[in-house]
Amino acid sequence: MHANATHSPNRRSTVLWVLLLAATVFTWAVGENGAGGPAIAALLLGVAALKGAAVILDFMAVGRAPLLWKALTLGWLALVCALIALAYWKGMP
């Protein structure tokens, strides 16, 4: 039983890692396609935010940390994404 408990987090991290790779390939492919506009930019920023949250919560183990650390790290991510969105929106013609 102890072996299963040890392998479970490793399998979860591996599956999450593969999903993060797939999301990265997706965003790269959309960017290489040349498609643009606010909807595409919002989609790509949303995927990046989800990837960042997954890294923070799982790989940085903040998901098991006290609420303050979750709020600080996810709040920082939200702030950065909001500033990127604002910069994109302000730079639109």
Q: In this predicted model, what pLDDT tens digit does every residue of 68-80 receive, in sequence order?
A: 999 999 999 999 9
The residues, any chain, with a CB within 8 Å of residue 19's CB and separated by 6 or more, are: 54
CA–CA separation, 29 and 66 (whole Å) = 37
Helix%, strand%, coil% for the chain, nearest 5? 90, 0, 10
CA–CA separation, 80 and 51 (whole Å) = 13
Percent of the chain with pLDDT over 90: 76
Please give the tally of structural domains in the chain. 1
Residue 1: is its pLDDT beyond 50?
A: no
pLDDT band at 37 (very low <50, low <70, confident <90, very high): confident
What mean pLDDT, rounded, does the chain reach?
90
Q: What is the DSSP letter of 64?
A: G
Range of the domain at 80: 2-91
Tokens found for residue 21: 């790779």
Residue 58: is its pLDDT beyond 90?
A: yes
